[in-house]
Amino acid sequence: MLKTRHLIEPSDLTLEELDDLFTLAERIEKEPLYLRESCRGKLLAVLFFEPSTRTRLSFEAAMFRLGGSCLGFADPSASSTVKGESLADTVRMVACYADVIVMRNPKEGAALLASRYSSVPVINAGDGGHHHPTQTLTDLLAIRRLRGFIGNFTIGFCGDLKFGRTVHSLAKTLVRYCGVKQMFISPPELRVPSYITTELGVNGIEYVETDSIESVIGQLDVLYMTRVQKERFFNEEDYIRLKDTYILDTRKMELAKKDLFVLHPLPRVNEITPEVDSDPRAVYFKQAKFGMFIRMALLAEILDTVI
Ligand code: NCD
């Protein structure tokens, strides 16, 4: 059973709990029948106030594969939110019907607020440009599976580091692992927030900020590409100006190490050309599959159904 009932930020989990989740996810992947019926009779409420493909579907697939069921909405226009119901009231009601809630919301802090009104555990599936802890679990499991363990590598985050919640959650969590050097590659307007670099500085973690991918790609063991987050821009002109700042193509891949891994939380827009997909170093589709196994492990732990 996890120490915490809610998962709002990755820091809600201890390093030991993270490690246990990865071990459990690996076992589930190897032994598909293990935990198959463990959540029978349990209900997952899926409340998505923002679009999603992977996160929502992998949570639903995870719950079904554990023998449980799901209810909820993928579009808030079908909920009482359009009638003016507050998030607090919606969550209070849903908690009467379900055993656990997974929620995505465009407002930073929404998951934390929901957790204060919910009598069942709340899992944050993304709150605005703030955090996305289960994507971090997915990313870390991918790194562990691909590199053997989490530590002693250089990671480059590239793209929209200002609004990219997956970057914020992963960068902050990697501070807790040994020997991880972080490089932040972005245009000046989309730099990583200072609360992240302050966290790195305070912990004595080496990091670099640059706007040139070519100048650092050769030093990276992991390249974490991201999409420019169109929905968080205040004006379209800025988005159009910045959206194609970085395009990873086969020419740039020639500058990279032979054992680099390219991760991306997906969806991809233009930032990786389709030719790169056939490069064995491009592992973003494999990474997405780890998301289902780690969400199975998380649900089984939160619902305390691991035998
Ligand atoms: C990410 C998100 O929603 O923050 N997607 C995901 O959950 N895999 C990344 C993105 O939308 O760019």
pLDDT mean over 149-170: 98
Distance 166 CA to ligand 1 centre (A): 7
Question: Do 50 and 174 belong together in one domain?
Answer: no
By CB neighbour count within 10 A (0-12 exposed, 13-18 middle, 19+ buried), where does 135 fall? buried
- Six token digits for residue 118: 């919910």
Task: Determine the pLDDT at residue 3.
Answer: 59
Task: Determine the pLDDT at residue 206.
Answer: 87
CATH number at residue 126: 3.40.50.1370
Task: Determine the pLDDT at residue 80.
Answer: 84
What is the overall mean pLDDT for the chain? 96
Task: Determine the pLDDT at residue 4.
Answer: 63
Q: In this predicted model, which residue has the larger pLDDT, 4 or 142?
A: 142
Does the structure show a pLDDT above 90 at 176?
A: yes
Spatial separation of the C-alpha atoms in residues 286 and 125, rounded to whole Å: 20
Task: Indicate the number of domains in the chain.
Answer: 2
- Six token digits for residue 299: 């649900």
Task: Determine the pLDDT at residue 156.
Answer: 98
Percent of the chain predicted with pLDDT > 90: 94
Of 104, 144, 172, 268, the catalytic one is: 104
Cα 270-274-275 angle, rounded to 5 deg: 130
Q: Which of 164, 162, 226, 220 is nearest to 194 (CA)?
A: 162
Could you tell me the pTM of the whole model?
A: 0.97
Does the structure show a pLDDT above 80 at 59?
A: yes
Question: Do 152 and 295 belong together in one domain?
Answer: no
Question: Do 145 and 58 belong together in one domain?
Answer: no
Question: Do 242 and 264 belong together in one domain?
Answer: yes
Q: What is the pLDDT of residues 66-101, one digit of tens each?
A: 999 999 999 888 788 888 899 999 999 999 999 999
Does the structure show a pLDDT above 70 at 47?
A: yes
Task: Determine the pLDDT at residue 294.
Answer: 98
Does the structure show a pLDDT above 90 at 179?
A: yes
pLDDT mean over 209-238: 96
Domain residues for the domain of 31 are: 10-131+291-302
Task: Determine the pLDDT at residue 1.
Answer: 64
Q: Does residue 307 belong to any structural domain of this protein?
A: no
Question: Do 122 and 142 belong together in one domain?
Answer: no
Task: Determine the pLDDT at residue 263.
Answer: 98
User: Is residue 135 within 6 Å of ligand 1 at its C-beta?
Assistant: yes
Task: Determine the pLDDT at residue 81.
Answer: 85
Q: Does residue 5 belong to any structural domain of this protein?
A: no
Distance 164 CA to ligand 1 centre (A): 8
Q: Please say if 245 is a catalytic residue.
A: no
User: Is residue 227 within 6 Å of ligand 1 at its C-beta?
Assistant: yes
Task: Determine the pLDDT at residue 78.
Answer: 78
Distance 224 CA to ligand 1 centre (A): 12
Question: Do 48 and 20 belong together in one domain?
Answer: yes
Q: What is the pLDDT of residues 100-109, one digit of tens each?
A: 999 999 999 9
**Which 3 state secondary structure label does DSSP give 153?**
strand
Question: Do 116 and 217 belong together in one domain?
Answer: no
By CB neighbour count within 10 A (0-12 exposed, 13-18 middle, 19+ buried), where does 210 fall? middle
